[in-house]
């Protein structure tokens, strides 16, 4: 097989890149190690920045998002006895949209498949060969057990944190900065109307809790747990009790309902740079991971491929390499900004383990920060600019 851009991974990064390239008449082939059903069922992010909504709209996948997505003009920050709202529109003139990553993925797969996109589902042993030459290849074993080779002009590594792309770049070329947090998020998807109109991020001595949503009938909620905790320790009753306690507020009740999905995700910040090696370009989680507290992972993936799509189009159609040469530095600027914001939100909202000798001091710093960010117009604007993604253009 031969194509202009070989794409490893059909998560949001790979699919959106294929769509952006196709809009400009550039061919691609996607190689994905899971089945279409598995990819379409994965429950992950839910908050889409203003600029990311514009990108998806321009890419021709905004119809359902605009119909079914929920525009949120603010967010609630809470600690015991207080729930305060930050108004994004007042603070920085932008909003965010709540629309599941699962739905974006389905919308992208539908449009790509109806457009004739080649996606090799359930591929195994994916490898990128010759990325530092002019003739890179993706090799894999297809669903029927047959070895395959895709000859490419360029390769996009969009295969997430555990993919094959990043390790293709020699260690001598890569540098990694990371932080592993001493806690994890237990997330549930529940069949119950949200008990709130906007997201609630709650600090509590027992640990952080969060209320998000997917629709007027489905809620998404999270609890801070220990990184080595096991989901088997958490019955539905224990989860709902924890959520109710941590988000308690006089005059407000959390409605519970049947859980549709529950899982525990460890939290880390991780940035591998550069995002390019020869003709291999990394995008999304393949290159960086943020803790979910800032709602940035999916948005960064969308920002990366917006830049990468434009850069590859310029190289392929005009023979100009300026944008592919600056891709890594351009993308990393936003990556670091979101990494900082996600780390800051995480540090402000998660209760330090009680074994931490500074725990009492840190807790007081957190409450003081929450009080400040919800009472100073300037501080609220800083949070709003970062949360909505208004700081850096796409
Ligand atoms: P993805 O979505 O991980 O997609 C990568 C795709 O590559 C495939 N793959 C391979 N294909 C071929 N060969 C290989 N060797 C391969 N290895 C992997 C995978 O099957 C997959 O289809 O990365 P992408 O596209 O860069 O998108 C990034 C986002 O998915 C990610 O940033 C967010 O979902 C992160 N994230 C969250 N972000 C938020 O903003 N808010 C959230 O609430 C939130 N929750 C989450 C999350 C990530 C999670 N992960 C990664 C476990 C919850 C979870 C559970
Ligand atoms: C979600 O809706 O899944 C969600 C929202 C905000 C976050 C993280 C996850 O910060």
Task: Answer yes or no: is pLDDT of 43 > 90.
Answer: no
Q: What is the pLDDT of residues 81-131, one digit of tens each?
A: 999 999 999 999 999 999 999 999 999 999 999 999 999 999 999 999 999
> ω before 32 within 30° of 0 (cis)?
no
The closest residue, in CA terms, to atom 35 on ligand 1 is 297
pLDDT score, position 393: 84
Mean pLDDT value of segment 196-206: 98
Task: For 182, list phi and psi in degrees, rounded to 5.
Answer: -85, 35
pLDDT score, position 151: 98
Helix 359-373 to helix 377-388 angle (10° resolution) is 90
**Residue 158 in contact with residue 13, Cβ under 8 Å?**
yes
Distance 7 CA to ligand 1 centre (A): 15
Mutate to test the pocket of ligand 2, among 187, 263, 292, 338 (most ligand atoms within 8 A of CB): 292
Mutate to test the pocket of ligand 1, among 101, 308, 334 (most ligand atoms within 8 A of CB): 101
372 catalytically annotated: no
Mean pLDDT value of segment 205-223: 96
In the chain, what percentage of residues exceed pLDDT 90?
A: 97
pLDDT score, position 23: 98
Q: Which ligand is nearest to the CA of 70?
A: 2
Q: Kindly report the average pLDDT of the chain as a whole number.
A: 97
The closest residue, in CA terms, to atom 2 on ligand 2 is 46
99-102: long-range contacts (C-beta < 8 A, 24 or more apart)?
Answer: 99/46, 99/48, 99/65, 99/68, 99/69, 99/70, 100/43, 100/44, 100/45, 100/46, 100/214, 101/12, 101/42, 101/43, 101/44, 101/45, 101/46, 101/298, 102/40, 102/41, 102/42, 102/43, 102/44
Distance 127 CA to ligand 1 centre (A): 19
- What the block records as the tokens of 291 is 């803790």
- The CA–CA distances, whole Å, from 154 to 81, 147, 168 equal 55, 20, 14
Instruction: Check pocket membership of 163 for ligand 1, CB cut-off 6 A.
Output: yes
pLDDT score, position 391: 86
Mean pLDDT value of segment 301-329: 98
pLDDT score, position 230: 97
Mean pLDDT value of segment 191-218: 97
Exposure string over 215-232, b if 16+ CB within 10 A, otherwise e: eeebbbbbbbbebeeeee
pLDDT score, position 1: 97
Q: In terms of Cα–Cα distance, which of 169, 224, 171, 226 is closest to 201?
A: 224
Distance 131 CA to ligand 1 centre (A): 23
Instruction: Check pocket membership of 311 for ligand 1, CB cut-off 6 A.
Output: no
Taken in order 307, 74, 69, 209, the sign of the CA dihedral is positive
Task: Answer yes or no: is pLDDT of 394 > 90.
Answer: no
292 catalytically annotated: yes
pLDDT score, position 354: 86
Distance 11 CA to ligand 1 centre (A): 6
Provide CB contacts within 8 A for 318, sequence distance 6+.
none
pLDDT score, position 392: 87
76 catalytically annotated: no
Instruction: Check pocket membership of 9 for ligand 1, CB cut-off 6 A.
Output: yes
Q: In terms of Cα–Cα distance, which of 2, 336, 304, 290 is closest to 158?
A: 304
In the chain, what percentage of residues exceed pLDDT 70?
A: 100
Helix, strand, coil content of the chain in percent (nearest 5)? 40, 30, 35
Mutate to test the pocket of ligand 2, among 218, 220, 260, 291 (most ligand atoms within 8 A of CB): 220
DSSP alpha helices (H): ranges in the chain? 12-23, 36-41, 50-58, 63-68, 88-92, 101-114, 236-246, 297-318, 322-349, 359-373, 377-388
Q: Which is it for strands 147-157 and 280-282: parallel, antiparallel or unpaired?
A: parallel
Closest ligand 2 atom to 345 CA:
10
Q: Which of 201, 204, 222, 291 is catalytic?
A: 201
Closest ligand 1 atom to 299 CA:
40
Q: What is the pLDDT of residues 58-77, one digit of tens each?
A: 999 999 999 999 999 999 99
Mean pLDDT value of segment 312-338: 98
Closest ligand 1 atom to 9 CA:
7
Q: Which of 204, 296, 307, 350 is catalytic?
A: 296
**Residue 99 in contact with residue 69, Cβ under 8 Å?**
yes
Task: Answer yes or no: is pLDDT of 150 > 90.
Answer: yes
């Amino acid at each position: 097989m031969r194509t202009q851009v070989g794409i490893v991974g059909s998560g949001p990064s790979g699919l959106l890149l294929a769509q952006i390239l196709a809009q400009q008449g550039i061919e691609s082939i996607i190689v994905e190690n899971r089945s279409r059903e598995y990819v379409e069922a994965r429950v992950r992010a839910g908050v889409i920045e203003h600029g990311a909504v514009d990108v998806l709209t321009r890419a021709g996948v905004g119809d359902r998002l605009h119909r079914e997505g929920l525009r949120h003009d603010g967010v609630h920050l809470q600690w015991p006895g207080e729930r305060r709202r930050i108004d994004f529109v007042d603070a920085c003139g932008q909003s965010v949209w709540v629309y599941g990553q699962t739905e974006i993925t389905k919308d992208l797969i539908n449009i790509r498949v109806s457009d004739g996109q080649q996606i090799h589902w359930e591929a195994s042993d994916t490898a990128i060969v010759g990325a530092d030459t002019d003739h890179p290849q993706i090799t894999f074993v297809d669903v029927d057990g047959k070895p395959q080779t895709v000859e490419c002009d360029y390769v996009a590594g969009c295969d997430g944190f555990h993919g094959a792309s990043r390790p293709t770049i020699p260690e001598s070329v890569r540098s990694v900065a990371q932080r592993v947090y001493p806690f994890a998020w237990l997330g549930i998807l529940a069949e119950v109307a949200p008990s709130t109109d906007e997201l609630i991020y709650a600090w509590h001595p027992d640990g952080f809790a969060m209320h998000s949503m997917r629709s007027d009938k489905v809620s998404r909620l999270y609890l801070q747990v220990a990184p080595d905790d096991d989901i088997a320790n958490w019955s539905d009753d224990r989860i709902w009790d924890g959520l109710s306690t941590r988000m308690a507020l006089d005059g407000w009740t959390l409605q519970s309902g049947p859980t549709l999905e529950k899982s525990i995700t460890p939290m880390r910040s991780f940035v591998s740079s550069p995002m390019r090696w020869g003709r291999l370009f990394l995008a999304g989680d393949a290159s960086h991971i943020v803790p979910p507290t800032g709602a940035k992972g999916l948005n960064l993936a969308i920002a990366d491929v917006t830049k990468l799509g434009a850069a590859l189009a310029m190289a392929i159609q005009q023979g100009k390499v300026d944008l592919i040469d600056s891709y890594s530095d351009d993308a990393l600027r936003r990556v670091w900004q979101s990494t900082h914001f996600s780390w800051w939100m995480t540090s402000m909202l998660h209760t330090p383990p009680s074994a931490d000798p500074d725990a009492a001091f840190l807790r007081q710093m957190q409450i003081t920060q929450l009080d400040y960010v919800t009472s100073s117009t300037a501080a609220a604007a800083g949070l709003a600019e970062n949360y909505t993604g208004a700081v850096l253009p796409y």
